[in-house]
Chain A
Amino acid sequence: MRINNLSIYQFKNHKDFKIDLNTDISCITGKNGQGKTNLLDAIFMLSACKSYFNAIDYQLILHGESSAALNAEFYNGQQLDIQLIIEQGKKKKLKLNGKQYDKLIHHIGLINVVIITPDDIELIKGNSDERRKFIDLMISQTDRVYLNHLSEYHKLLDQRNRQLKLFADHQHFDSIILESFNERMLAPCEYIHQKRQTVLKEIQAAFKQYYRSFQSGSEEVVLKYESALNSDSFEILLKSSLNKDLAIQRTSVGIHKDDILFEINGYPLKKFGSQGQNKSFIIALKLAQYHFLAETVKQSPILLLDDIFEKIDEERAEKLIHLISQESFGQIIITDTHAERMRKYFENINKSTKFVEL
C-alpha cells in the first residue's frame, strides 16, 4: 500500500496544504505546533474514517470555518483516490474514485495504516476501552464480518441498556423484550470473542520477538486476553447477570467488558514497567499489529511514526530504524522536530528517502 500525495483543506491547523509522498520514506520535520501530527492524522483518517486523536469530528475543522476536506491518492496495484469531507452538522462523506460510499464502514480495510505516537502510552495507562479500540481496529482492518458484528453488537447493547433504564423508570419488566435483544446479541458476541482470542494468540510470538529486539533484559512480557467469555457462554452469562443488570440498569457482561492485560514477569506493566520497558512494549505491540496486517492481507500497511525519535534513546532508535528499513516494511512517513536527526538516521538507508521541512 502506498500513498502518493496528500492535500489537506481547513483541517485542524492547516488552511490549505499539499505534499508529495512518493518515496519509500518521508521525513517531515518542523517545530511543535506546525501541524506535523495532523498530517499523519489526516492519513489515518483516510484509512479509518475517524481521527486517531479526536473523537468529535467537527473539532477537526479549522477554527472559524464550517468544513474540512482531505484528499489523497493511494496505490495498491490500482489507483485509489480517496476524499473525505467533514461539514459542520452533517455526516462525514467519503468518496473512492469519485463515488461516495453509502456507509463509511464499507471503506475499512481498503487502506491499511499503522500509527505509532507518544499518545499510545494511553494503551498502558488508560482504561480498557483504549485496548479494545486497538484490537478492534486491528481486526476490523482484516475482517469485514468482525466489523459488522461489532457494529451490530454495539447497537444492540445501546438498545438493551436503554431498555433496562426504561424498566426501572416505568417499574415494569418484560422478559420477552430482553430475551429478544439477548438472542440477537449471541452470535456477534461469540464471534467477536473467538476472533479476539485467535488474533491475540497469533500476534504473541511476533510481539515478543519485537520486544526482545528493543529490550535486552530477561523479563517476560505477555498479552493476556481477559474476558468473562473465556469460561462461560454469553447466553449463560446474560442469564446469571440478569438481576445485576436490572439493578445497575446496564449490561454488565459481554465483549464490551473485555480487556487485554499487559504483563511483565506476571505483573501488570501499568504498575511495574519502567519508562523504557513501556516504550519498548508499545512499539513492539504496534509492530506486531503491522506484522499481522501485512501477513493477513498480504500487503504492507503504511507506517506512520509520530515524533517517536524524540521519545526514545539512540540505541532503541537505531534498532527501530534497522527493523523498519528491512525489505518487508513498506512505505513509512515520519515526523520529527529535528531535521538534522532525521538526516543522520535516514540519509544512508537503502530506500528512497525524502526530507521535507514545514
Chain B
Amino acid sequence: MNYSSKIIENAVKALSGFPGIGTRSALRMVVFLLKRPKEEVNQLAESLMLLKTTLKSCRVCHNISDEEVCNICKSPNRNHRQLCVVEDMQDVMAIENTAQFNGLYHVLGGVIAPMDGVGPDSLNINSLVTRIENGHFEEVIIALNPNVEGDTTTFYIARKLKTASVQISTISKGISIGSELEFADEITLGKSISLRVPYQV
C-alpha cells in the first residue's frame, strides 16, 4: 500500500503485528484514532505503556498482578489448601469465569516443548515444587490443555510431586482452556473442574 505519510505507515505497521489484524484493519484503526480527541489517544498510549512499566507478575503464583503479591493469593476468602496449575494468565481468567474453583493458582508460563526450546527449567516448575513442599496444600489440580505438550507436562509435574503428600488430579480429558478458550465454553470447563479425576503416576 502507498501511504502519504511515514507516520501513518509506521502506525499501520505496528498495529498489523497484532494477532488477527491485517494491514487493512490496521489502517482502519489508524483512521479511527486520528478522529478521536487527543486526551483519549493519550490515555490509550498510557495504559499500553503501563502494561510494560508497572505490571508485575505475582511472586507467589506468577499470575499477572499490579502488586508484589496478587489479589487471589492475598485473599482470605479463598481456599488455601487447593492449588490449580495452569499454563498462562488467560487460563486463570477462563477458570475464574466458571466460578467453579475457589482455590489458588500457579501459572507455569508455558508447557514443556523441547522443540521450542522450552524445558522444565524455563517454566515455574521448581517454584511450584517448593510451594507445595512448604505449604499446606491438600490437592493440586493440573489443568493443562489436552495436547501432546500439555500431557507431557502434566506427567512431569505429577512425577515431581510424587513424594509430596498431596492429592493430584486433572481436569477431564479433551477439555481445552484459556488460550484455546474458543473451544471450551464456561459450563464444560466448569464441569470438568468440579468433576476432576485423580491422577496416578
Q: Name A residues whose Cβ lies closer than 8 Å to a Cβ of B.
A: 152, 155-156, 158-160, 162-163, 166, 174, 176-177, 179-181, 183-184
- List the 4 closest pairs (A to B, CB-CB), nearest first: A162-B114, A163-B114, A180-B156, A180-B155
* Nearest chain B CB to A91 CB, angstrom units: 15
Instruction: Compute how far the CA of A166 lies from the CA of B120 in the bound complex, rounded to whole angstroms.
Output: 12
- In the assembled complex, how far is the CB of residue A112 from the closest CB belonging to chain B, in whole angstroms? 28
B119 adjacent to chain A (CB < 8 Å): yes
Known A-B contacts: A159-B114, A163-B114, A180-B155. Give 15 more (CB < 8 A): A152-B148, A158-B115, A159-B113, A159-B115, A159-B148, A162-B114, A166-B119, A176-B160, A177-B112, A177-B156, A180-B112, A180-B152, A183-B155, A184-B148, A184-B151
For window 107-149 of B, CB contacts with A under 8 Å fall at 112-115, 119-120, 148-149
With the chains together, A155 CA to B201 CA distance in Å?
Answer: 22
Is B159 at the interface (CB under 8 A from chain A)? Answer: yes
Q: How far apart are B52's CB and chain A's nearest CB, in angstroms?
A: 30
A181 and B152 contacting across the interface, CB-CB below 8 Å: yes
CA distance A261 to B109 in the complex (A): 47
In the bound complex, do residue A179 and residue B159 qualify as a contact, i.e. CB atoms below 8 Å apart?
A: yes
Query: Chain B residues near A155 (CB, 8 Å)?
Result: 148
Q: Is the CB of A176 within 8 A of B114?
A: no
Q: Which residues of B contact A158 (CB under 8 A)?
A: 115
CA distance A174 to B114 in the complex (A): 13
Nearest-neighbour CB distance to chain B for A105, whole angstroms, equals 14
Query: Which residues on the A side are within 8 Å of B149 (C-beta)?
Result: 159
CB distance from B168 to the nearest CB of A (A): 14
Query: Which residues does chain B contribute within 8 Å of A177, judged by CB atoms?
Result: 112, 119-120, 156
Write out the residue numbers on chain B whose beta carbons fall within 8 Å of the beta carbon of A152: 148
Chain A CB within 10 Å, residue with most, of B115, B148, B156, B201: B148
Chain A residue numbers with a CB within 8 Å of B115 are 158-159, 162
A159-B148, A159-B152, A166-B119 known; A180 vs B159 contact (CB < 8 Å): yes
Residues of chain B lying within 8 A (CB to CB) of residue A174: 120
Interface residues contributed by chain B, number (CB under 8 Å): 16
16 contacts between A and B (CB under 8 A): A156-B152, A159-B114, A159-B148, A159-B149, A159-B152, A162-B114, A166-B119, A176-B159, A177-B112, A179-B159, A180-B152, A183-B155, A183-B201, A184-B148, A184-B152, A184-B155
Cα–Cα, bound, A185→B152 (Å): 10
Roughly how many angstroms separate A176 CA and B201 CA in the complex, as a whole number? 11
**A174 CB to nearest B CB, Å:** 7
Cα separation A176 to B125 with both chains bound (whole Å): 13
Closest chain A residue to B159 by CB distance? Answer: A176
Find the B residue at minimum CB distance from A153. Answer: B148
State in angstroms the CA–CA spacing of A57 and B47 once bound together. 43
Of the residues A166, A179, A183, A184, contact of B114 by C-beta under 8 Å = A166
Residue of B nearest to A160 (CB): B114
CB nearest to B153 among chain A residues = A180
A176, B114: Cα distance in complex, Å: 14
Smallest distance from the beta carbon of A177 to chain B beta carbons, Å?
6
Please measure, in the bound complex, the distance between the C-alpha atom of A110 and the C-alpha atom of B25, giving whole angstroms: 37
Known A-B contacts A162-B114, A163-B114; A156 and B119 likewise in contact (beta carbons under 8 Å): no
| Assembled-state Cα–Cα distance A155/B115 (Å) | 9
Q: For B114, list chain A residues within 8 Å (CB).
A: 159-160, 162-163, 166
CB distance from B146 to the nearest CB of A (A): 11
Q: What residues of chain A lie closer than 8 Å to B155, measured between beta carbons?
A: 179-180, 183-184
- Name the residue of chain A whose CB is nearest to the CB of B160: A176
Max count, chain B CB within 10 A of own CB: residue among A166, A174, A177: A177
Chain B: CB-nearest residue to A102: B183
Q: Which residue of A lies closest to B183 (CB)?
A: A102
**What residues of B have a CB within 8 angstroms of the CB of A180 in the complex?**
112, 152-153, 155-156, 159
State A104–B155 Cα separation when bound (angstroms): 29
- B30-82 residues with Cβ-Cβ distance < 8 A to A are none
State the CA gap A180–B149 with chains docked (Å): 10
In the bound complex, residues from chain B placing their C-beta under 8 Å from that of A184 are: 148, 151-152, 155
Q: How far is the CB of A211 from chain B (nearest CB, A)?
A: 40
- Distance (Å) between the CB of B161 and the closest chain A CB? 11
How far is the CB of B18 from the nearest CB of chain A, in Å?
18
CA separation between A180 and B157, bound complex, in Å?
9
Closest beta carbon of chain B to A182's beta carbon, Å? 9
Q: Which of B120, B152, B155 has the most CB atoms of chain A within a 10 A radius of its CB?
A: B152
Closest to B156 in A: A180
Contact with A along B149-190 (1 / 0, CB 8 A): 101110110011000000000000000000000000000000
Contacts of A179 in B (CB 8 A): 155, 159
Residues of B within 8 A of A156 (CB): 148, 152
Chain B minimum-CB-distance residue to A156? B148
Most chain B beta carbons < 10 A, residue from A156, A160, A180: A180
Q: List chain B residues, Cβ under 8 A from A163.
A: 114, 119
B74-114 near A? 1/0 per residue, CB < 8 Å: 00000000000000000000000000000000000000111
